[in-house]
Each structure stands twice: as C-alpha cells, then as structure tokens.
Amino acid sequence: MDVRTDSARPWLVVTGLHRRRGPSRRPATWYAGVAVVGVCLLCLVVLPVAGIAVTALSAGWRELWAPLQSPIGRAALGLSLAAAFTAAVVNTVAGTLLALALERTSVPGRGLLNALVDLPLAIPTTVAGLMLLELYSPVQPVGRWLAAHHVAVAYARAGVVLAMVFVTLPYAVRSVQPLLESLDRRAEEAAWTLGAGPWRTFWRVVLPALAPGVVSGFFLTFSRAVAEFGAVVVISGNLPLRTEVAPVYLYGLLENDDPAGAAAVSLYLLAASLLALAVTGWLQRRWGSRAAAPGGFAGVESRGRVAHAALAAGRWPARRWAFGALAWLWWGLVCLLPVAGLAKAGLAGGVAGFWAACTRPDAVAALRLSAWVTAWTTLLNLVLGLWTAVLLSRHRFRGRRLLAALADLPFALSPVIAGASLLVAYGPRSVLGGWLSQAGVRLMFAVPGMVLATLMVTYPMVVRELVPVLAAASRAQEEAAWTLGGGRGRPNRRKPGKL
C-alpha cells in the first residue's frame, strides 16, 4: 500500500504510522546513515575507550590499584573530585540564577548577556587558564591585592576551582534555561493572586519545576569539570600533593612512558564521569515522562512575551533590576574581567609588538595548522553530527539508547584521556597502528591524528545542539511533502533554516 495515494486511511500520514511498519518500510538512506554513524563511532569512541580499558586491566590488579596506593596519585584524584564537586555546586547555583536573570528580567543588555554565556565554550581551555593567570597572578594588580589580603588564587586550589567554574558555567545555564522558557506562568500568577511573595513563589512553584534542569546541570558540570585539563594546567602550577589534578598526573605518566599507569588513572576518571552522565540520563528519562504527562511541569507553554513583559515590569521591579545587576556582576567577575586582563597583556607591547608576535614564522605555522585542523573537524562534525542527530531525533529503532550513549561518551573524556585512548588504539605499539604503518597510513603524530582527537572531543557538543532543534521542529511540512510525492531527503534540503 502506498500511503501517499491511499485516501481511505489518511490518518496513517497524519500519525506517521506509515513510517513504523518495520524494517521493510525504512529507506535505504536510513541504513546508510546507521552504517556510517556506527563505523565512525566504532573507530572514534569504542576502539579507543576499549583500548584504555584493556591496557589498564592487562597489567593486573596490582597495577590498576597503583595510582590509589601512591600518595601523589591519590592526592591528584582526590583534588580532581573535590574541586569538580565544588565547581558543580557553585555553577548549579550561579547557573540557575543566571538563567532566571535571562528569562525573568528586563535589564539592559540581557541579549548581550545571553550571548556571552556561551563564551567559555568558544575559548580554548588553555587560553582560559592563561586569562585567569594574567588576572590573578601575584605580579598583577588584582593578584597583588588578593595576596595582600592573604587570598591566593594562582598556583593554589582556589585557582583550580575557579578554572573549572569558568569552563563549565554554560552547561549549568543551558540546562535550566529551556525549562524556564516552557514553564507555565499561570501557576505563578495563581500563587501571586493567593498572596504569595516572590521568594515563596520561587521555592514552592518555580524551583520544583526547574529541578530536572538543575540536577542535570549539576551532573553535567561535574562530569566536565573532573576531566578538565587545559585551563587547570596553566593556573594551578601543578604542584604534587597540593595543586596537581588527576588529568595533569595522567599526562606526567604518559611523558614518563607508563601507559599502564596512565590507563589506570584514565579508567578512574572515566568511571566518575560516566556515573555522572548515567545519573543525568536516568533523571532526564524519569522526569521526561512526567513532563510529557498531563499536568506535567513542562506540559503547558507559557502565555507569551506579553505576560512576560508585564510581569517583569509590573511586580517587584526593583528586585528584578537588582537580580539582573547581580547577574552582570557575577559574569563580569568570572568571565569578562579575565578576558580584559588577557587583552591588556597581549597589547602590552603595543599594536606593533602584537603584530610582530603574530607574524613570527612559528606562530604563522601554528595558526595555519590550527585553521587546517579546525576546518576539517568542522566539516566532519557537520556531516557526522547532523546524521547522528537525525537518527536520534527522527527515528525509533533498537539500539537507539546505545547510540545516544556512545555519542555522549566523549563528553566525559578529558582531552588528555582522549589523546591517550587514541594513542593506545592507533599508536605504533598497537595492532591497528602497526597495520596502518604497514599500509603506509600515518595517523598518530600527524595532522590526521590531530583532526581525529579534535573530532572526538567536539562531536558530542554538535549532537547536543542539533538533537533538541530537530526534535522540536514540526514535521507537518515534511509529511505534506511526502503526501505530495517528495522523497525523504527533499524536505530536509528545503528547510535549512530549521537547523
């Protein structure tokens, strides 16, 4: 039966049941997409992570427990977990307040503040560490003032926490903000009508509805912070037993040619991050079913911008302005002030000195290589990430949760763990690396390896951005196109604006 010409049962097209008739109804592009994404995830995620696990376990249990028996390793792991937990708590509170300021206030610059929230994601982590060091170093004005008041940030544990807070704050904000956008405002209006004040309304009405985003933001922040390397390695000073974190300790093991010890530390960090991501996924599935149910916390849309503007300007305007001012102050201290410090340090020698530093042969070669790696990574991420997002958001099939878990797995990996896993899987000492060398393919210590490592770290971010957009997009136009005889690929090409 061709549903496009069957007028007796038009409900098949409306409900989409014609697309759930089993494997025989799936187009060839679906099988091609699953095959391409599966092979890429096998080479990009499964084999490297499996190589880390095999290397850690092949040396025996004594070698696996060695990092916990070493005082330096135990201190590094403890500092990473404690600092990541502290950063997650700080960012959960600050991210929730920032999301409230972005959605419930009308202070000047709210659009700019919303755009600046994603700034830490666009800044390389090593540059973020350098910004914090230029601001809080004892030789800088702010650092000298803090040292005079017996507060140490650079080369101290406070700097480790601050670096993690800077890098992971966007995850906490973006986890809460969508729930605020879709929150039904009638419950708040009812609370105000019954005489509840702003704080009671927040604690009894708003905060329970935001609980899924708050908890998810906490665990996402923790899983990302515990794996942070670039920003921490610059600001901490890497002092053993004091400021050395586990990813830096892992990097030292790799430099000392101890792959078994490095794999063991990687396994511990990976287990902590995976546990956090598993809890996040479980909570999202549990609360997601409640949200989809009648009367769920996100089941009714907001009344719109008119009600929002009236409430923002009508009730408690002074408190809303103070709330927005505090949001700007916090974001300025955490992000904008370090950026200004780095700009001042970069232009300390004037424009001529800045241009001379950028036009040195080694700097030009490094910038050219970075641009080349970025271009290839962006192209591959666009194809692979888009295809993965389409499979996860538009199709239901066996193994979908496994595909989502594998796509999310690199998010829990520190960059140094990602590099170590690729080196274990494709290095000269591995089976695959030896086979590639015999075939004349140079992967490690070359540009393809750099592209592969960058793709591994950034691929989950692309999928996370595209899946909600594709899931929220209406399928009415696509179903109309299918009814008129359009192929499955044509509607997506006709609606690029949705992405």
User: Mean pLDDT for each consecutive 10-residue tract of the chain (499 residues)?
Assistant: 42 41 62 86 88 82 82 91 93 87 74 82 86 87 87 90 91 83 69 66 73 84 87 88 90 83 85 80 64 37 37 52 73 79 79 85 91 92 88 82 83 80 84 84 86 88 81 62 58 46
Can you give the CATH number for the domain in which 403 is found?
A: 1.10.3720.10
Give the integer Cα–Cα distance in Å for 125 and 391. 31
186 inside domain: yes
Shared-domain flag, residues 166 and 283: yes
As a residue count, the chain comes to 499
Shared-domain flag, residues 160 and 264: yes
14 inside domain: no
371 inside domain: yes
Shared-domain flag, residues 377 and 481: yes
Shared-domain flag, residues 324 and 338: yes
Shared-domain flag, residues 143 and 170: yes
Task: Single out the residue in 299, 323, 346 at which a domain terminates.
Answer: 346
pLDDT of residue 475: 59
Largest CA distance in the chain: 83
11 inside domain: no
The string over 381-416, giving b where at least 16 C-beta atoms fall within 10 Å of a residue's C-beta and e elsewhere, is beebbbbbbbbbbbeeeeeeeebbebbbbbbbbbbb
Shared-domain flag, residues 139 and 32: no
488 inside domain: yes
Shared-domain flag, residues 359 and 331: no
State how many domains the chain has. 2
5 inside domain: no
Shared-domain flag, residues 67 and 211: yes
The candidate with the shortest Cα–Cα distance to 386, out of 44, 43, 37, is 37
pLDDT of residue 482: 60
Please identify which residue in the block is written with the tokens 């409306």: 14
Shared-domain flag, residues 355 and 303: no
The candidate with the shortest Cα–Cα distance to 162, out of 120, 110, 105, is 120
Shared-domain flag, residues 134 and 211: yes
Shared-domain flag, residues 263 and 370: no
At 21, give phi and psi (nearest 5°): -95, 10
378 inside domain: yes
pTM of this prediction? 0.77
Shared-domain flag, residues 361 and 487: yes
**Which residues span the domain enclosing 115?**
62-346
